[in-house]
Structures are given as structure tokens and as C-alpha cells.
Structure 1
Amino acid sequence: MQQQIAPEQNGESKPDLTIGFLLMKQFTLASVAGLVESLRFAADESFSSRQIFCRWEWMTCDDQPVTASCGLPVSPTAALDFSRNWDYFVVAGGLLEETRQPPQWLLHALREIHARNIPIITLCSGAFVAGNAGLLDGRQCAIHFTTRDEFRLRFPKAIPVIDKTYIKDGGIISCPGGTAIDLAADLIRQHCGLVRSQKVLKYLLVDDTAVPASRAKQKENQNPPDVYENDVVNKVIELMKHHLDSPVPLAEVAAFAGVTFRQLNLIFTKCTSYSAAVYWRRMRLEQARKLMADSSNSINAIAAATGFADASHLIAWFRKQYGETPSSYRKRRREVEKLIKP
């Protein structure tokens, strides 16, 4: 698992997608490999495995090499540093003996990462680590069918699900194992655009047209909002989704949901880790980025289509959210499309 990290050139902004991997002892290789190989294909303009548009690091609990459950040794590429502003932090589990009773310092660190609104991805038995940290209470969690009974006993407040390739709920993305390519493709589509997501599936020999029923609904809406175990939140998210171009006052949204403005924000913060206003703005920014990647519409037109006052308003929030301007983002998308289109 060697990697080539390309230095930033000409003052380029941060990559589209950054992921920190914490490899637990005896981690399952298949899901980690499926996720990182997908990133590798999306990370470069060609196929030189340079970490340009996507970047990742391997870390371990003691900064020493670990061995996967299949016997493959892996050395960390970076010291374990929870202060980094990753787009996602992955806890890669495997054999339950290594994840049933994780150290308290790790649980504390994961709670802090979650409080900073950095999504945590659990692979395989990594869900047991998140469960021990109390991050799955009241939330759905995708787990492997072989661990369901023990998971229920250990975490009675969590909601285990065994028929999903992954679940996003409350800032935790749980993946029960397998290849994790579905999860990787959707992350890449969300952060890097549809073209590079299709490139990944093509070169991993995945037929994107022959998707199982569990993925069909996701294909209809390339950036589906999270689904939460709260009727008010789900009802409001549906309203937000249908008013991306014309946000209505949140007081009216709260009235629509039958709660007060204060209650609305409390519920949203508990379920999504964001206030209702921030969640809605992030949805609109994601839609704007999708339109920039997949259309030739002007920034003014995209601003109007996503509920921003004008182009400068959108540019300011886009730069704050993604660390670059829409024009620089689009420029890199065009370069990638030229290289990978036949």
C-alpha cells in the first residue's frame, strides 16, 4: 500500500477529498482496499497514483505497523493526529477481539472529532468502536449479519441494520464490510463530481448500470440527504430539498414542522450535528458544486438555482466551505474530463 503524494503547485488549494485511515489491529483488508483503490483512481488526472485531487494517510493507534486479518503487514504513513481537518476519518476494524474494548483515549478522541463535525466512517467492526464511544445511540448503523446479536447486546440504544451496504446517520457513516466501493463511489461523486465517480467504477470493472435495488434509489438522486430516526428532521429535509433555489424563512419551516424555531434547531443539532440553517446551506452548496461539475451554467445562474443572493454570495460561501473558488474548482473538472473522456 505504497502511495505517491503530489506536492501542491502554484498555490493550489486543498484537495477535493481528504481521508485519514486509522487501521486497527487485525483490520479487514477488503473494505479498506475497496475504499482506497477508488480514491486512487479519482485522485489523479491520469493513472499515476498521485494524490492530487484526493489524499489519504494510514495511521495506527501506536504509530507502529499493524497486520491485517489476512496477514498483510501495513506501516503507517503518518503519526496519529486527531487535530487534522480531514473531510472524513475512518476507523477500520476487523476481528472483534481488537474492537470490543478500545482504549478510552481513542473513544474520547472520536467524540471530539464528531463534535468538530468531521464525519466518521466505520468499516467492518469499527462500528463497535463508535458504539463504545456512544456515537451510535439512537442512530441506525450498518453492521455485518454475523455480529448483529452481540452488537445488540452491547449497544441496546443503537439501531443495527444488516441489509445495507452503508448508512449515513448523524455524522457517522457505517459500512459493514465487503468492498466498500458503493460508499467510495458516492463519496467521490459528492466531492469530486460525477465524471470521476464514473471513471472509478469503469476502471474497477464495476457495471454502474447493473446496480442492486439498494442502490437504485441513490442513483435517482446523486446526493441524497441523510435519513434520520426523527420524523421532524426527515420532514424538514424533504422540504429543504424541494426549496434549494428559494429558501423560506426558518420560522416558517418550523411552523410547517409543528415545532418552535428553538426546538427545530435543537432537534437538527442532535440528529445532524448542524443547526437547521447550516444544514440547509450545506445542501445548497453541495447542489451548487454538483451543477458546476456537471453543467456549463454560469456562476450567476447556479447561484440563483441554489438560493444564493448573487454570484459573489455563492463564491464567498463556496470558498469558506471548500477552500477554493468555483472557477478554480471548475478548471480542474474540465482538465480531468479532457483526460478521461475517449
Structure 2
Amino acid sequence: MTLVSFLLVSGVHLLDLAGPAQVFSTAADLGLGYEVRYSAAHEEVATAQGPALRVGTDVPPPSPDGLVVVPGWRAGGRVPHRVLTDGQAGALSAHRAAGGTVASVCSGAFALGEAGLLDGRRCTTHHGLQDLLARRFPRARVVPDVLYVPDGGVLTSAGIASGIDLALHLVTVRHGPSAAAAIAREMVVYARRNGDEPQAGVMLRHRGHLVDAVHRVQDVIDARFREPLPLAELAATARVSERTLTRLFTATTGLTPLRYQQGLRLEHAEHLIGAGETVEAAARAVGFGDARMLRRLRSRPS
């Protein structure tokens, strides 16, 4: 039986906690041998989303087989220099010294740094907190814009939903990819993402604008990125001329419609290749006629 202990800080984000907790409780339901516990400095813990949680106050016991996870909390770009009690910081250090695994989600990385667990290690956090983490813990090696970073027995992940990816990664390491895939299916989440994927995919990176016509075209491309999509058809969707669409799309996203579609195809192909598909099979699955274009896009500098 593997004990997974969640160490909660006041203002905890519910999804930072619930995402990985659901992974391990689902793993337990599937017979993989997990027990999930929760603790905090006080029995009642305020959450960023409103509802208070009632948990135990016992610190996680050190164990070479156990896992301690520190979910993130509402930071707003400002993180206190001390978020843990002396007992909690000592428990994290003792757990790692005993050979146990320690992980964080989002701003939880600051708690790991406070316990001295980031010194000399690669780590990450939410993209809005990466610079602050690097300044606060100069001996840490902060990796920007990735989903999660494993470094020995210390793992850190980006914001919010990336905690699910981190937890699925830990299940994969312990039980293999088929177990993680079974949990992902049970949770109805997207297939496990690799840690070095960017925190914002193609769709998120290019949606921060206010041009309705371009959003309508992006909706079509997002839903049908595997298909040939003539510019004339996309322009008709936006109710503008082809020339105007190209100008608007490039001005708002930095890409032509074709480059945007290629980016989506490449992103989905990388998921498939990471799951074991050949380049040729991945190319066909995402709509490329053959693998030559996919290889060309994969070799292009980011």
C-alpha cells in the first residue's frame, strides 16, 4: 500500500488538489494499492474557490515508498516567504531524506523550496510565478514553460490541471503506461501529456485576442484540423474576403491559417509519437499525406 499525503496550505486551489487526488483515488479503485490522506496546519483549511475543507493535522510520516504532494494556493504573483510551519517543512525534508517522493503543483513549488528541496534541482511552476521562484530560490534551476519536471525524488508541475499530468506520470513510473491510460480513460481526461510540453498549447497561445471573425475561423480549424481546409471556405466562415482573413488572422495570431493548422497537427502528432506511434502513423492520423511534412515541421526551430 502506497501512502499519498496531500499537505495543504491556506487558500489551496481546489483543482490543484482534486486533480491529482482523483488520479490516486482512481488508482486505488482499480486495485493499484494507494491510500490517500490530507493534512494541514489547522483542521479547517480555506480554499481559493470558497468552500472550506476539514482535514487532519498530523504531518506526513517519512517513508521510502510514500509520496507527499503540496498543491498550490492562490498567490496573485505574491508568495509569502514562509507558508509552512516548522513541522511541515521538517516533515517534507525528512520524507525526502528517507527516500520518499515529494511533488508540488503550481505555487506548491515554493513550499518545496522553503524546505530546501529545490537547491541544485531542476523545477518548474505556473508560468506567472516562474521568475519569482527563480529569484526566491537562486540555487534552483527553474525550467520555464513546461508541464512538469522530475528531478530524482522531487517533482514539480505547472499550474492547475498539470497536476493531473504529474500524477499520471507518477503512476506510469510505478505501474506502467497501461495503468495510467486506464486511469485517464476512467477520468475522461486527455491522454497523458509529456512533461516537456508547453504549458499553453497552440489553441491557448493564439486565443488571447478579441477579433470575432478570427475566433470563428479558429473554431473551424480546431475541430477539423485533420481535413484540407481551403482558404475560401475559411473566409466564408468569417464572412470576409480571403485577403482580409489572411491579414486579420496573421495580425491577431502571428500565423497564417495554414501555419495555425500545421501547428495543431504537429501538436497532436507529438502526442501520438510520445504514446508509441511511428512518425509515419502519426502523420497519417493528423492529416498529413505522408511523413515528410511532419518531419520538416518537427525539425523546425520553435
Q: If the TM-score is normalised by the length of the shorter chain, which range does it land in?
A: 0.5 to 0.7
1:103-161: CA deviation from partner (whole Å, max 9, x where unpaired)? 33332332222111111111221111111222111211111111122222211111112
What's the counterpart of residue 287 of structure 2? none
Query: Conserved in 2, the CA contact under 8 Å of 1:93 and 1:122?
Result: yes
In 2, the alpha carbon distance for the partners of 1:109 and 1:123 equals: 18
Shift of the 81–130 alpha-carbon distance from structure 1 to 2, 3 Å rule, reads: closer
In 2, the alpha carbon distance for the partners of 1:167 and 1:87 equals: 19
What's the counterpart of residue 138 of structure 2? 156
Query: Conserved in 1, the CA contact under 8 Å of 2:64 and 2:99?
Result: no
- Write the letter of the residue equivalent to 2:114: N
In 2, the alpha carbon distance for the partners of 1:191 and 1:126 equals: 23
1:64-87: CA deviation from partner (whole Å, max 9, x where unpaired)? 120211112111157334345652
User: In the alignment, does 2:36 pair up with 1:56?
Assistant: yes
1:240-270: CA deviation from partner (whole Å, max 9, x where unpaired)? xxxxxxxxxxxxxxxxxxxxxxxxxxxxxxx
User: In the alignment, does 2:93 pair up with 1:108?
Assistant: no
In 2, the alpha carbon distance for the partners of 1:133 and 1:210 equals: 28
What's the counterpart of residue 122 of structure 2? 140
Query: Conserved in 2, the CA contact under 8 Å of 1:31 and 1:177?
Result: yes
Shift of the 33–78 alpha-carbon distance from structure 1 to 2, 3 Å rule, reads: same
**In structure 2, the residue corresponding to 1:114 is in which secondary structure?**
helix
Aligned length: 200
Alignment partner of 2:67 out of 88, 106, 109: 88
Whose radius of gyration is greater, 1 or 2? 2
Unpaired segments ≥5 residues, structure 1? 1-14, 46-50, 222-342
- Write the letter of the residue equivalent to 1:118: G
In 2, the alpha carbon distance for the partners of 1:195 and 1:150 equals: 37
In 1, the alpha carbon distance for the partners of 2:4 and 2:195 equals: 27
What's the counterpart of residue 14 of structure 2? 29
What's the counterpart of residue 174 of structure 2? 191
Range with greater deviation from structure 2 (107-116 or 189-198): 189-198
- Write the letter of the residue equivalent to 1:90: V
Shift of the 23–212 alpha-carbon distance from structure 1 to 2, 3 Å rule, reads: closer
Shift of the 204–134 alpha-carbon distance from structure 1 to 2, 3 Å rule, reads: same
In 2, the alpha carbon distance for the partners of 1:120 and 1:218 equals: 25
What's the counterpart of residue 28 of structure 2? 43
Shift of 1:98: 6.7
TM-score by length of 1: 0.52
Q: What fraction of aligned residue pairs are identical, expressed as a percent?
A: 25
Q: Which has the higher contact order (CA 8 A, sep 6+)?
A: 1
TM-score by length of 2: 0.58
- Write the letter of the residue equivalent to 1:202: R
Shift of the 177–210 alpha-carbon distance from structure 1 to 2, 3 Å rule, reads: closer
- Across the aligned residues of Structure 1 and Structure 2, the Cα RMSD in angstroms comes to 2.9
Shift of 1:42: 1.9
Shift of 1:88: 0.7
1:172-213: CA deviation from partner (whole Å, max 9, x where unpaired)? 100122222211222222323443322211122224299897
- Write the letter of the residue equivalent to 1:121: A
In 1, the alpha carbon distance for the partners of 2:183 and 2:158 equals: 21
Unpaired segments ≥5 residues, structure 2? 198-269, 278-302
